A and B are shown apart, each in its own frame.
Chain A
Amino acid sequence: MAEKTQSAEFIPRLLPPWELLAEGHRGCQGCGEALALRQILKAAGPDTIVCSATGCMEIITSPYPETAWRIPWIHVAFENAAAVASGVEAGIKILQKHGRYREGKVNIIAIGGDGGTADIGLQALSGALERRHDFTYVCTDNEAYMNTGIQRSSATPFGASTTPSPAGKESIGQRTEKKDLPMIVAAHNLPYLATACPSYPLDLMNKTRRALSTEGPTYLHVLSPCPTGWRHPIDMAVEMGRLAVESGVFPLYEIIDGKLRLNVEMNKRRPVAEYLKPQGRFRHLGPEQIEEIQRFVNEYYDRLIYRSQCDAEAPPTPHEE
Chain B
Amino acid sequence: MGERVGLEVSLAVSEAVKLARAEAVAAYPITPQTHIVEELAQMVADGDLDAEFVMVESEHSAMSACCGTSAVGARTFTATASQGLALMHEVLFIASGLRLPIVMAVANRALSAPLSIWGDQSDVMAERDCGWIQIFVETGQEAFDQTVCAFRIAEDPRVLTPMIVNIDGFTLSHVVEPLELESQEAIDGFLPPFSAQVVLDPDRPVTIGPVGFPELYTEIKKQQNEALLASHQVIVEVWKEWADSFGREYRPVESYRAEDAEVLINLAGAVAGTARVAVDEMREEGRKVGLVRTRLWRPYPFADMREAVGSAKAVAVVDRALSFGGPGGPMASELRGALYPLASPPVVAGFVAGLGGRDITVGDFRAMVDETEKIVSEGYTHEYRMHGVRE
**A and B, one complex?**
yes
**Which A residues are within 8 Å of any B CB, using their own CB?**
46-49, 51, 58-59, 62-65, 67, 69-77, 79-80, 82-95, 97-98, 100-102, 106, 123-124, 126-128, 130-131
Name the distance in Å between B376's Cβ and chain A's nearest Cβ: 49
Instruction: Establish whether residues A127 and B213, one from each chain, have CB atoms under 8 Å apart when the complex forms.
Output: no
Q: How far is the CA of A101 from the CA of B64 in the complex (A)?
A: 21
- Chain B residues whose C-beta falls within 8 Å of the C-beta of A71 in the assembled complex: 202, 205
Do B68 and A74 touch across chains, with their CB atoms under 8 A apart? yes
Whether A88 contacts B202 by the Cβ 8 Å rule is no
Distance in angstroms from B221 CB to nearest chain A CB is 12
**Which residues on the B side are within 8 Å of A63 (C-beta)?**
210-211, 213
Report yes or no: A67 in contact with B90, Cβ–Cβ below 8 A: no
* A90–B52 touching, CB < 8 Å: yes
B23 contact from A82, A88, A89, A91, Cβ within 8 A: A91
Residues of B within 8 A of A48 (CB): 202
Name the B residues within 8 Å of A97 (CB-CB): 50
Residues on A with C-beta less than 8 A from B69 are: 87-88, 90-91
B308 contacts partner chain A, Cβ-Cβ < 8 Å: no
A130 and B56 CA atoms in complex are apart in Å by 10
B23 touches A62 (CB 8 A): no
- Cβ contacts under 8 Å, B205 to chain A: 46, 69-73
What CA separation (Å) do A49 and B94 show in the bound complex?
19
Q: Residues of B contacting A123 with CB < 8 Å?
A: 57-58, 61
Evaluate contact between B202 and A72: CB separation under 8 angstroms.
yes
- Asked if B348 lies at the interface with its beta carbon under 8 angstroms from chain A, I say no
**Which among A89, A91, A93, A124 is the interface contact of B60 at CB below 8 angstroms?**
A124
Tell me if A58 and B208 are in contact (CB < 8 A). Answer: no
Chain B, residue nearest A89 (CB) = B68
Tell me the complex Cα distance, A68–B374, Å. Answer: 65
B24, B203, B220: which contacts A90 (Cβ < 8 A)? B24
**In the assembled complex, how far is the CB of residue A4 from the closest CB belonging to chain B, in whole angstroms?**
37
Check B202–A87 contact: CB distance below 8 A. no
- Among A85, A91, A106, A130, point to the contact of B73 (Cβ < 8 A): A91
CB neighbors of A among B49-74 (8 A): 50-52, 54-58, 60-62, 64-74
Q: Which residues of A contact B66 (CB under 8 A)?
A: 87
Interface pair A76/B73, CB less than 8 Å apart: no
Chain B residue nearest to A78 in the complex (CB): B90
In contact, A101 and B54 (Cβ under 8 angstroms): no
Minimum distance in angstroms from A220 CB to a CB of chain B: 20
A101 and B69 alpha carbons, distance in the complex (Å): 12
For the complex, give the distance between the alpha carbons of A84 and B90 in Å: 14
Cα of A268 to Cα of B356 in the assembled complex, Å: 67
Q: Does B61 contact A80, Cβ atoms closer than 8 Å?
A: yes
User: Which of A62, A87, A127, A128 meets B209, CB within 8 Å?
Assistant: A62
Q: What is the interface of chain B, defined by CB distance below 8 A to chain A?
A: 23-24, 26, 50-52, 54-58, 60-62, 64-74, 76, 90-91, 94, 98, 193, 200-213, 216, 220
Contact yes or no, A86 B61, CB < 8 A? yes
Q: Are B216 and A74 in touch, CB under 8 angstroms?
A: no
Known contacts A82-B61, A88-B69; can you find 4 more A-B pairs with CB under 8 A?
A62-B210, A73-B209, A86-B65, A91-B74
CB distance from B218 to the nearest CB of A (A): 13
**B55 to chain A: closest residue by CB:** A131
A84-B64, A92-B72, A95-B73 given as contacts; is B57 within 8 A of A124 (CB)? yes
B50: A residues at CB distance < 8 A: 94, 97-98
A89 proximity list for chain B (CB < 8 A)? 68
6 A–B pairs (Cβ distance < 8 Å), ordered by A: A48-B202, A62-B211, A65-B210, A71-B202, A72-B205, A98-B23
Chain B residues whose CB sits within 8 angstroms of the CB of A79 once the complex forms: 60
Residues of A within 8 A of B98 (CB): 76
Residues A87 and B24 in contact in the complex (CB < 8 Å), given A47-B202, A95-B73: yes
Which residues of chain A come closer than 8 Å to B193, judged between CB atoms?
Answer: 100
Q: How far is the CB of B226 from chain A (nearest CB, A)?
A: 18
Q: Complex: how many Å from CA A83 to CA B60?
A: 9
The one of A76, A93, A94 in contact with B91, judged by C-beta atoms closer than 8 angstroms, is: A76
Partner of A83, one of B64, B213, B216: B64
Q: How far is the CA of A69 from the CA of B50 in the complex (A)?
A: 33
Q: Could you say which residues of chain B place their CB within 8 Å of the CB of A98? A: 23, 50
Within 8 Å by CB of A86, from B26, B74, B209, B211, lies B26
From residue A92, how far is it (CB to closest CB) to chain B in Å? 5
Inter-chain CA distance A154–B203, complex, in Å, is 39
Which chain A positions have C-beta within 8 A of B58? 123-124, 127
A104 CB to nearest chain B CB (Å): 9
Closest to A106 in B: B202
In the complex, A97 Cα to B69 Cα: how many Å?
Answer: 14
Which residues of B lie under 8 Å from residue A83 when comparing CB positions? 56, 60-62, 64-65, 68
Contact B54 A124 (CB under 8 A): no
Residues of A within 8 A of B76 (CB): 91
A67 touches B207 (CB 8 A): yes
Separation of A62 and B207 alpha carbons in the complex (Å): 8
Report the separation of the CA atoms of residues A47 and B213 in the bound assembly, to the nearest whole angstrom. Answer: 30
A74 — nearest CB in chain B belongs to which residue? Answer: B208
CB <8 Å contact, A84 and B67: yes
* Complex CA–CA separation, A126 to B220 (angstroms): 34
Tell which of B56, B65, B74, B200 touches A49, judged by Cβ atoms closer than 8 Å.
B200
- Distance of A77 Cα from B58 Cα, bound (Å): 15
Give bound CA distance, A215 to B76, whole Å: 25
A91 x B68 contact (CB < 8 A): yes
Residues of A within 8 A of B60 (CB): 79-80, 83, 124
- Name the B residues within 8 Å of A46 (CB-CB): 202, 205
Give, as a whole number of angstroms, the nearest-CB distance from B298 to chain A: 22
Contact A91 B71 (CB under 8 A): yes
Contacts of B64 in A (CB 8 A): 76-77, 80, 83-84, 86-87, 124
Whether A127 lies near B57 (C-beta < 8 A) is: yes
A185–chain B nearest beta-carbon distance, Å = 15
B94–A77 CB distance below 8 A: yes
Assembly CA distance A48 to B202 (angstroms): 6
Contact yes or no, A64 B211, CB < 8 A = yes
> Which residue of chain A lies nearest to B72 when distances are taken between CB atoms in the complex?
A91
- Residue of B with least CB distance to A82: B61
Contact: A84 with B216, CB < 8 Å?
no
With both beta carbons as reference points, the residue of chain A lying nearest to B53 in the complex is identified as A90
